[in-house]
Chain A
Amino acid sequence: GENVEQHPSTLSVQEGDSAVIKCTYSDSASNYFPWYKQELGKGPQLIIDIRSNVGEKKDQRIAVTLNKTAKHFSLHITETQPEDSAVYFCAATSTYNQGGKLIFGQGTELSVKP
């Protein structure tokens, strides 16, 4: 089955700097890779996703890149702000083989210091 590894587990950056979180997956059949943000006391919320037919996707200050050959994908946050502080989870699934069952990484706690 699919296994997703996420690094780092904690990340601290200064406001305005960039933050990068990396994930690797094991199942070459995986074709959908969402990222969720979980703020304190709240449930995870989808912030961006990417499918295997593209290599990069951007949405304002966040971007996700996918390397299918190496089986890894990354979340990039530029010009970080204190409100970006949260736990971020990557996930992977094969929408054809696993019925959309998401396998999550362990999470990265991002702290943005003003």
Chain B
Amino acid sequence: ETGVTQTPRHLVMGMTNKKSLKCEQHLGHNAMYWYKQSAKKPLELMFVYSLEERVENNSVPSRFSPECPNSSHLFLHLHTLQPEDSALYLCASSQSPRGPNTGELFFGEGSRLTVL
């Protein structure tokens, strides 16, 4: 496996369900990100983890709960979602989230979430 891998690729859930999205990076990076991609809108940064510590939380509703157990894995736990949360959720990693040498973001292929 190389790059950034996301599972599942597709997920359909009801508003009362609890599910999780998983991301794994095989690039040796120390920063990981969750982005939300909705139709006709810019990519929205949700969370940033650097060295397993959350460094950014962009006013995301508490029904989204991230977890970063180590520098290679990132989860997004979902509970009591709303239909407007349906979107493509992209995970990304980079060598460093800060400093003058901004690292290139490497994205996974995304998890397409549909909330019924």
Contacts and interface: CB of A to CB of B under 8 A. Distances in A.
Interface in A31-86: 32, 34, 36, 41-46, 49
Interface string B36-48: 0000111101001
Interface string A85-104: 00001000101100111111
Interface residues of B, number: 26
B102 interface: yes
Contact of B98 (A41, A46, A100): A100
Nearest to B100: A95
Contacts of B43: 44, 89, 104
B4 interface: yes
B45 A102 contact: yes
A43 B110 contact: yes
A45 B110 CA distance: 12
Contacts, number: 60
Given A101-B48, A106-B42, A107-B42, A43 B98 contact: no
Contacts of A103: 42
Nearest to A51: B102
Contact of B105 (A4, A41, A42, A102): A102
Interface in A7-34: 9, 32, 34
A101 B56 contact: yes
B114 to A, nearest CB: 16
6 contacts: A43-B92, A44-B107, A100-B94, A101-B45, A101-B97, A102-B102
